[in-house]
Amino acid sequence: LKLEGRRVVMAGGSEAVAWKAELFAAAGALVEGHAPEPCEALAALAAGRETIEIKPRAITPADLAGAAVFVADAVDEVHALG
């Protein structure tokens, strides 16, 4: 999957999201995160890179339009499966 210049949308503000955002950005993706309360690691990561943007709000279905990849932070398998 080529991610250079492509948009990756992430929902959640945990440390797991932070390291995934870092990996996607390293692959050249433009990372857009949605987290009402991002963890310190995620906030610091976004502050240091132009390719990572954190929007301090919950994600909406419209946020997914045009995304190459979507990643959601789920606390357990029950939440992941909806």
Q: What is the pLDDT of residues 22-63, one digit of tens each?
A: 999 999 999 999 999 999 999 999 998 999 999 999 999 999
Are 4 and 59 in contact, with CB atoms under 8 Å apart? Answer: no
**How many angstroms separate the CA atoms of 33 and 70, rounded?**
10
Are 10 and 17 in contact, with CB atoms under 8 Å apart? Answer: yes
In the prediction, which pLDDT does 82 show? 53
Helical (H) or strand (E) element with 69: strand 69-72
Of the pLDDT bands very low, low, confident and very high (cuts 50, 70, 90), residue 18 is: very high
Pinpoint the alpha helices (H) of 1-82.
15-26, 40-47, 77-81
